[in-house]
Amino acid sequence: MTEKKQLIGWERWRDPIDRTRLDFKNRLSDFDSKYDDELDEDDKLLPEDHIPIIMTPVGLMPLREDMTPGKTFNFWIGHTTFRITQYIRDIIEGVDGVEVLDICTPYRMRVGIGKMFKAENVRTDIGEAIYTHLHSGFDKDIV
């Protein structure tokens, strides 16, 4: 029987909010300006000082240009050829530099790497830690 090769492929996470926020803001101002004559000042769609907020793993964050998740965190998407079990999740969370871990599917994860760490080193350390587990001969996922 051929041994299945366990791999992790990495790609930079693209922040959907960062790209669409400006478009939303432009559409909102277009809508607002079309109906300006019909609205009193109190009836405006959004006040000028309104700052949207989003929920993140570290709490609520204002959604300003400089505070979008893509600029606050160094996110990477990891695609695997093996299932990301609870034990593997624990291994990843134990790697120095892993600040945020979201399991998206059984084969995909989003990892936030701390600003003081080199992303390439953390990704390598994650791969080595998992590889050590997968080839240890003792499968703790069954326990």
**Structural domains present in the chain:** 8-14+68-134 (3.30.70), 16-63 (no CATH)
Which is higher by pLDDT, 128 or 29? Answer: 128
State how far the alpha carbon of 13 is from the alpha carbons of 3, 136, 142, in Å.
30, 31, 32
More confident residue, 51 or 105: 105
Lowest mean per-residue pLDDT among 46-50, 114-118, 124-128:
46-50
What tokens does 92 get?
């990843």
Using an 8 Å Cβ cutoff, are 76 and 119 in contact? Answer: yes
> Are 60 and 116 in contact, with CB atoms under 8 Å apart?
no
* pLDDT value at residue 15: 74
**Model confidence at 129, in pLDDT bands (50, 70, 90)?**
very high
pLDDT attached to residue 55: 76
Mean pLDDT score, 50-74: 69
- For residue 69, what are the contacts with CB-CB under 8 A and spacing of at least 6? 15, 17, 54, 56, 61, 75
What pLDDT was estimated at residue 142?
37
